Amino acid sequence: MLNRTPARFQTQSDGLPPRPWARWLTILSDRPPAQVRGLNCQRLTGEGPLRQLIFDGALYNRADLERELGSSPNLSTANIAEVILAGYLRWGSELLPRLRGPLALVIWDSDREALLAVRDPLGSHPLFFAEKAGQVFVSPAIDLLTQQSGVSRELNRMAMADFIMQRTLGSQDTFFEFVRRIPAGHAISFERNNIRKHRYWDPAPEGIVNWTGPAEVERFDEFLDRAVSRCLSFGPAGIFLSGGLDSVSVAASAMERCRVEGLPQPLALSLVFPHPDTNEETVQRSVAEQPSRFSKPPGKTDCWAQRWL
Protein backbone atom coordinates (compact mmCIF):
# COMPACT_ATOMS: atom_id res chain seq x y z
CA MET A 1 0.00 0.00 0.00
CA LEU A 2 2.73 2.46 1.00
CA ASN A 3 5.65 2.72 -1.38
CA ARG A 4 7.26 5.81 0.06
CA THR A 5 7.40 7.54 3.43
CA PRO A 6 5.28 10.70 3.60
CA ALA A 7 7.42 13.81 3.92
CA ARG A 8 5.09 15.97 6.01
CA PHE A 9 1.52 16.80 6.95
CA GLN A 10 -0.12 19.93 5.58
CA THR A 11 -3.17 21.77 6.89
CA GLN A 12 -5.40 23.94 4.75
CA SER A 13 -9.06 24.88 4.50
CA ASP A 14 -11.26 22.30 2.87
CA GLY A 15 -13.36 25.06 1.31
CA LEU A 16 -16.51 23.99 3.15
CA PRO A 17 -18.50 26.11 5.62
CA PRO A 18 -17.47 25.73 9.28
CA ARG A 19 -19.39 23.13 11.30
CA PRO A 20 -19.64 22.59 15.06
CA TRP A 21 -17.37 19.56 14.65
CA ALA A 22 -13.95 19.42 13.06
CA ARG A 23 -13.68 18.62 9.36
CA TRP A 24 -10.32 17.31 8.32
CA LEU A 25 -8.99 14.76 5.92
CA THR A 26 -5.77 12.77 6.10
CA ILE A 27 -4.45 11.46 2.80
CA LEU A 28 -1.70 8.85 2.93
CA SER A 29 -0.39 8.40 -0.58
CA ASP A 30 2.31 6.51 -2.43
CA ARG A 31 3.51 9.93 -3.58
CA PRO A 32 4.60 12.28 -0.76
CA PRO A 33 3.72 14.50 0.91
CA ALA A 34 0.89 13.20 3.03
CA GLN A 35 -1.75 15.87 3.55
CA VAL A 36 -4.16 16.95 6.24
CA ARG A 37 -6.88 19.28 5.03
CA GLY A 38 -9.53 20.76 7.26
CA LEU A 39 -10.58 22.91 10.16
CA ASN A 40 -10.26 22.82 13.95
CA CYS A 41 -7.73 20.02 14.39
CA GLN A 42 -4.40 20.23 16.18
CA ARG A 43 -1.38 18.95 14.34
CA LEU A 44 2.27 18.55 15.16
CA THR A 45 4.85 18.66 12.38
CA GLY A 46 8.60 18.24 12.54
CA GLU A 47 11.66 16.53 11.20
CA GLY A 48 12.82 13.04 12.07
CA PRO A 49 10.89 9.94 13.11
CA LEU A 50 7.50 9.99 14.81
CA ARG A 51 6.97 13.70 14.25
CA GLN A 52 3.58 13.82 12.59
CA LEU A 53 0.42 13.68 14.63
CA ILE A 54 -3.14 14.98 14.34
CA PHE A 55 -5.42 15.35 17.36
CA ASP A 56 -9.11 16.23 17.33
CA GLY A 57 -11.60 16.29 20.18
CA ALA A 58 -11.06 16.72 23.91
CA LEU A 59 -8.46 15.22 26.24
CA TYR A 60 -9.81 15.12 29.79
CA ASN A 61 -6.69 13.86 31.55
CA ARG A 62 -3.94 16.02 30.11
CA ALA A 63 -2.70 16.92 33.60
CA ASP A 64 -2.46 13.23 34.54
CA LEU A 65 -0.38 12.49 31.42
CA GLU A 66 1.93 15.43 32.11
CA ARG A 67 2.55 14.16 35.64
CA GLU A 68 3.36 10.67 34.34
CA LEU A 69 5.69 12.02 31.67
CA GLY A 70 7.40 14.17 34.29
CA SER A 71 10.81 14.89 32.84
CA SER A 72 9.62 15.77 29.33
CA PRO A 73 10.48 19.45 28.72
CA ASN A 74 7.99 22.27 28.08
CA LEU A 75 4.86 20.13 28.33
CA SER A 76 3.05 22.78 30.39
CA THR A 77 3.13 25.14 27.39
CA ALA A 78 2.68 22.47 24.71
CA ASN A 79 -0.50 21.91 22.77
CA ILE A 80 -2.42 18.67 23.25
CA ALA A 81 -0.87 17.10 20.16
CA GLU A 82 2.63 17.59 21.61
CA VAL A 83 1.63 16.06 24.95
CA ILE A 84 0.16 13.00 23.22
CA LEU A 85 3.18 12.65 20.96
CA ALA A 86 5.49 12.75 24.00
CA GLY A 87 3.42 9.93 25.48
CA TYR A 88 3.59 7.93 22.25
CA LEU A 89 7.37 8.34 22.08
CA ARG A 90 7.66 6.96 25.62
CA TRP A 91 4.97 4.26 25.72
CA GLY A 92 4.16 3.48 22.09
CA SER A 93 0.72 1.93 21.66
CA GLU A 94 0.50 1.48 25.44
CA LEU A 95 -0.39 5.19 25.50
CA LEU A 96 -3.82 4.55 23.99
CA PRO A 97 -5.57 3.05 27.08
CA ARG A 98 -4.32 6.05 29.07
CA LEU A 99 -6.27 8.58 26.98
CA ARG A 100 -9.56 9.89 28.37
CA GLY A 101 -12.14 11.88 26.43
CA PRO A 102 -13.98 12.01 23.09
CA LEU A 103 -11.13 12.11 20.60
CA ALA A 104 -9.70 11.02 17.28
CA LEU A 105 -5.99 10.60 16.74
CA VAL A 106 -3.82 10.01 13.68
CA ILE A 107 -0.09 9.29 14.01
CA TRP A 108 2.44 8.75 11.26
CA ASP A 109 5.06 6.35 12.67
CA SER A 110 8.02 6.53 10.31
CA ASP A 111 9.92 3.80 12.17
CA ARG A 112 7.19 1.32 11.28
CA GLU A 113 6.12 3.11 8.10
CA ALA A 114 2.56 2.95 9.38
CA LEU A 115 -0.32 5.37 9.79
CA LEU A 116 -2.15 4.76 13.07
CA ALA A 117 -5.79 5.96 13.32
CA VAL A 118 -7.33 5.84 16.81
CA ARG A 119 -10.89 6.36 18.06
CA ASP A 120 -11.78 6.99 21.69
CA PRO A 121 -12.93 4.09 23.91
CA LEU A 122 -16.64 4.95 23.90
CA GLY A 123 -16.81 6.01 20.25
CA SER A 124 -17.99 9.53 21.11
CA HIS A 125 -15.87 11.04 18.33
CA PRO A 126 -16.54 9.87 14.75
CA LEU A 127 -13.71 8.52 12.59
CA PHE A 128 -13.93 6.83 9.18
CA PHE A 129 -11.62 5.67 6.41
CA ALA A 130 -11.72 4.76 2.74
CA GLU A 131 -9.19 3.26 0.37
CA LYS A 132 -8.32 3.34 -3.27
CA ALA A 133 -5.24 2.12 -5.13
CA GLY A 134 -2.15 3.52 -3.41
CA GLN A 135 -4.07 5.81 -1.05
CA VAL A 136 -5.82 5.77 2.32
CA PHE A 137 -8.19 8.53 3.39
CA VAL A 138 -9.08 9.12 7.06
CA SER A 139 -11.60 11.70 8.28
CA PRO A 140 -14.29 12.29 10.93
CA ALA A 141 -16.65 13.37 8.12
CA ILE A 142 -18.02 10.78 5.68
CA ASP A 143 -18.89 13.40 3.07
CA LEU A 144 -15.24 14.46 2.82
CA LEU A 145 -14.29 10.87 2.06
CA THR A 146 -16.95 10.37 -0.62
CA GLN A 147 -15.87 13.62 -2.30
CA GLN A 148 -12.41 12.22 -3.03
CA SER A 149 -11.66 11.16 -6.58
CA GLY A 150 -11.80 7.39 -6.90
CA VAL A 151 -13.77 6.78 -3.68
CA SER A 152 -17.05 5.14 -4.66
CA ARG A 153 -20.35 6.53 -3.38
CA GLU A 154 -22.07 3.17 -3.79
CA LEU A 155 -24.66 2.68 -1.07
CA ASN A 156 -24.40 -0.13 1.46
CA ARG A 157 -27.94 -1.44 1.07
CA MET A 158 -27.54 -4.20 3.62
CA ALA A 159 -26.50 -1.72 6.31
CA MET A 160 -29.38 0.57 5.39
CA ALA A 161 -31.83 -2.32 5.62
CA ASP A 162 -30.45 -3.30 9.03
CA PHE A 163 -30.86 0.28 10.22
CA ILE A 164 -34.46 0.51 8.98
CA MET A 165 -35.26 -2.82 10.65
CA GLN A 166 -33.62 -1.56 13.87
CA ARG A 167 -30.96 -4.25 13.76
CA THR A 168 -27.44 -3.62 14.98
CA LEU A 169 -25.01 -2.61 12.23
CA GLY A 170 -21.58 -4.18 11.97
CA SER A 171 -18.92 -2.32 13.94
CA GLN A 172 -17.32 -0.96 10.75
CA ASP A 173 -20.43 -0.56 8.60
CA THR A 174 -21.64 2.77 7.21
CA PHE A 175 -24.32 3.57 4.64
CA PHE A 176 -21.57 3.63 1.98
CA GLU A 177 -20.09 0.37 0.71
CA PHE A 178 -16.51 1.65 0.52
CA VAL A 179 -16.42 3.88 3.60
CA ARG A 180 -15.73 2.08 6.86
CA ARG A 181 -16.00 3.13 10.46
CA ILE A 182 -13.17 2.77 12.94
CA PRO A 183 -14.88 1.02 15.89
CA ALA A 184 -14.93 2.52 19.36
CA GLY A 185 -11.89 1.62 21.43
CA HIS A 186 -9.93 0.49 18.37
CA ALA A 187 -6.82 1.56 16.52
CA ILE A 188 -6.25 0.68 12.87
CA SER A 189 -2.72 0.58 11.53
CA PHE A 190 -2.25 1.11 7.79
CA GLU A 191 1.05 -0.51 6.86
CA ARG A 192 2.71 -1.72 3.68
CA ASN A 193 0.25 -4.04 1.97
CA ASN A 194 -1.52 -4.63 5.27
CA ILE A 195 -4.23 -3.21 7.52
CA ARG A 196 -4.28 -4.29 11.16
CA LYS A 197 -7.15 -3.61 13.57
CA HIS A 198 -6.39 -3.61 17.29
CA ARG A 199 -8.80 -3.26 20.20
CA TYR A 200 -6.88 -1.26 22.78
CA TRP A 201 -9.73 -0.84 25.31
CA ASP A 202 -12.13 -3.51 26.49
CA PRO A 203 -14.32 -3.10 29.60
CA ALA A 204 -14.63 -6.88 29.92
CA PRO A 205 -11.46 -8.50 28.55
CA GLU A 206 -12.37 -11.90 30.00
CA GLY A 207 -16.09 -11.63 29.33
CA ILE A 208 -17.00 -10.87 32.95
CA VAL A 209 -17.62 -7.35 34.18
CA ASN A 210 -17.37 -6.56 37.88
CA TRP A 211 -18.79 -3.08 37.57
CA THR A 212 -18.45 -1.93 41.15
CA GLY A 213 -16.98 -3.25 44.34
CA PRO A 214 -16.94 -1.78 47.83
CA ALA A 215 -13.82 0.27 47.05
CA GLU A 216 -15.40 1.90 44.00
CA VAL A 217 -18.64 2.63 45.84
CA GLU A 218 -16.71 4.25 48.66
CA ARG A 219 -14.98 6.57 46.16
CA PHE A 220 -18.08 7.44 44.10
CA ASP A 221 -18.13 11.10 45.15
CA GLU A 222 -14.46 11.45 44.23
CA PHE A 223 -14.95 9.91 40.81
CA LEU A 224 -18.05 12.00 40.07
CA ASP A 225 -16.35 15.25 41.07
CA ARG A 226 -13.32 14.39 38.94
CA ALA A 227 -15.47 13.63 35.88
CA VAL A 228 -17.45 16.85 36.31
CA SER A 229 -14.29 18.92 36.84
CA ARG A 230 -12.84 17.59 33.59
CA CYS A 231 -15.90 18.79 31.68
CA LEU A 232 -15.92 22.19 33.41
CA SER A 233 -12.26 22.78 32.52
CA PHE A 234 -13.17 23.53 28.88
CA GLY A 235 -15.16 26.68 29.64
CA PRO A 236 -18.72 27.75 30.52
CA ALA A 237 -20.94 24.68 30.86
CA GLY A 238 -24.60 23.80 30.60
CA ILE A 239 -26.51 21.00 32.31
CA PHE A 240 -29.58 19.33 30.85
CA LEU A 241 -31.65 19.17 34.01
CA SER A 242 -34.34 16.50 33.94
CA GLY A 243 -36.31 15.27 36.90
CA GLY A 244 -34.06 12.30 37.58
CA LEU A 245 -31.31 11.56 40.05
CA ASP A 246 -28.49 11.57 37.46
CA SER A 247 -28.74 15.16 36.25
CA VAL A 248 -29.49 16.45 39.74
CA SER A 249 -26.32 14.78 41.04
CA VAL A 250 -24.26 16.22 38.18
CA ALA A 251 -25.73 19.68 38.81
CA ALA A 252 -24.95 19.53 42.53
CA SER A 253 -21.37 18.43 41.85
CA ALA A 254 -20.93 21.12 39.17
CA MET A 255 -22.15 23.88 41.47
CA GLU A 256 -19.71 22.82 44.17
CA ARG A 257 -16.76 22.36 41.79
CA CYS A 258 -17.38 25.80 40.26
CA ARG A 259 -17.45 27.33 43.73
CA VAL A 260 -14.24 25.60 44.82
CA GLU A 261 -12.36 26.23 41.58
CA GLY A 262 -13.61 29.77 41.03
CA LEU A 263 -15.30 28.98 37.70
CA PRO A 264 -18.45 30.50 36.20
CA GLN A 265 -21.53 28.70 37.45
CA PRO A 266 -23.12 26.45 34.80
CA LEU A 267 -26.38 27.07 32.99
CA ALA A 268 -29.31 24.81 33.84
CA LEU A 269 -31.41 23.85 30.79
CA SER A 270 -34.70 21.95 30.75
CA LEU A 271 -37.54 21.06 28.40
CA VAL A 272 -41.20 21.24 29.40
CA PHE A 273 -43.66 18.84 27.74
CA PRO A 274 -47.41 19.42 27.51
CA HIS A 275 -48.61 15.95 28.53
CA PRO A 276 -48.64 15.37 32.31
CA ASP A 277 -47.31 11.81 31.94
CA THR A 278 -44.05 13.10 30.45
CA ASN A 279 -43.78 16.53 32.01
CA GLU A 280 -41.16 16.85 34.78
CA GLU A 281 -41.40 20.61 35.15
CA THR A 282 -42.38 20.53 38.82
CA VAL A 283 -39.32 18.51 39.80
CA GLN A 284 -37.06 20.48 37.47
CA ARG A 285 -38.13 23.82 38.86
CA SER A 286 -37.97 22.64 42.46
CA VAL A 287 -34.33 21.62 41.92
CA ALA A 288 -33.36 24.70 39.93
CA GLU A 289 -35.02 27.10 42.35
CA GLN A 290 -33.37 25.70 45.48
CA PRO A 291 -30.81 28.53 45.65
CA SER A 292 -33.54 31.06 44.59
CA ARG A 293 -31.00 32.87 42.44
CA PHE A 294 -32.08 32.24 38.89
CA SER A 295 -33.39 34.33 36.04
CA LYS A 296 -35.75 33.12 33.33
CA PRO A 297 -34.99 34.19 29.73
CA PRO A 298 -37.84 36.30 28.33
CA GLY A 299 -40.25 34.86 25.79
CA LYS A 300 -39.65 31.20 26.62
CA THR A 301 -42.75 29.10 27.26
CA ASP A 302 -41.77 25.58 26.21
CA CYS A 303 -38.21 25.65 27.51
CA TRP A 304 -36.34 27.63 30.09
CA ALA A 305 -32.80 28.27 31.23
CA GLN A 306 -31.63 29.52 34.55
CA ARG A 307 -28.11 30.36 35.64
CA TRP A 308 -26.58 29.01 38.79
CA LEU A 309 -25.24 32.03 40.69
Compare 220 and 40 and report the one with higher pLDDT: 220
Rounded to an integer, the average pLDDT of 100-126 is 89
Q: Please indicate whether residue 297 or residue 248 has the higher confidence score (pLDDT).
A: 248
Q: Tell me the per-residue pLDDT of 201-215, one tens digit each, with 9 for 90 and over.
A: 988 877 777 777 888
Confidence of residue 121 (pLDDT cuts 50, 70, 90): very high
How much is the mean pLDDT over the chain? 77
Q: Which residues of 114-135 are buried (b: 16+ CB within 10 A; e: fewer)?
A: bbbbbbbbebebbbbbbbeeeb
> What CATH number was assigned to the domain covering residues 23-199?
3.60.20.10
- Evaluate if residue 300 carries a pLDDT over 80: no
Q: Could you report the per-residue pLDDT of 41-89, keeping only the tens digit for each?
A: 555 555 555 567 888 888 988 888 999 988 666 776 778 888 888 898 8
227-239 confidence digits (pLDDT tens)? 898 888 888 888 8
Query: Of the given ranges (89-93, 259-263, 264-268), which has the lowest mean pLDDT?
Result: 264-268
CATH 3.60.20.10 intervals, the chain: 23-199
| Other CB atoms within 10 A of residue 66 CB | 16
pLDDT over 80 at 103, yes or no:
yes
Q: Residue 288 CB: number of other CB atoms within 10 A?
A: 24
Task: Give the pLDDT of residue 242.
Answer: 81
Q: What is the 3-state secondary structure (H, E, C) of the chain?
A: CCCCCCCCCCCCCCCCCCCCCCEEEEEEECCCCCEEEEECCEEECCCCCCCEEEEEECCCCHHHHHHHHCCCCCHHHCCHHHHHHHHHHHHHHHHHHHCCCCEEEEEEECCCCEEEEEECCCCCCCCEEEEECCEEEEECCHHHHHCCCCCCCCECHHHHHHHHCCCCCCCCCCCECCEEECCCCEEEEEECCEEEEEECCCCCCCCCCCCCCHHHHHCHHHHHHHHHHHHHCCCCCEEECCCCHHHHHHHHHHHHHHHHHCCCCCEEEEECCCCCCCCCHHHHHHHHCCCCCCCCCCCCCCEEEEECC
Does residue 174 contact residue 181 with C-beta atoms inside 8 Å? yes
pLDDT confidence of residue 235:
82
Dump pLDDT digits (tens) for 143-159: 889 988 889 999 999 99
30 pLDDT more than 50: yes
∠75-78-84 over CA atoms, to 5°? 75
The model's pTM is: 0.75
**Given this model, what pLDDT does residue 48 score?**
54
* pLDDT for 41: 56
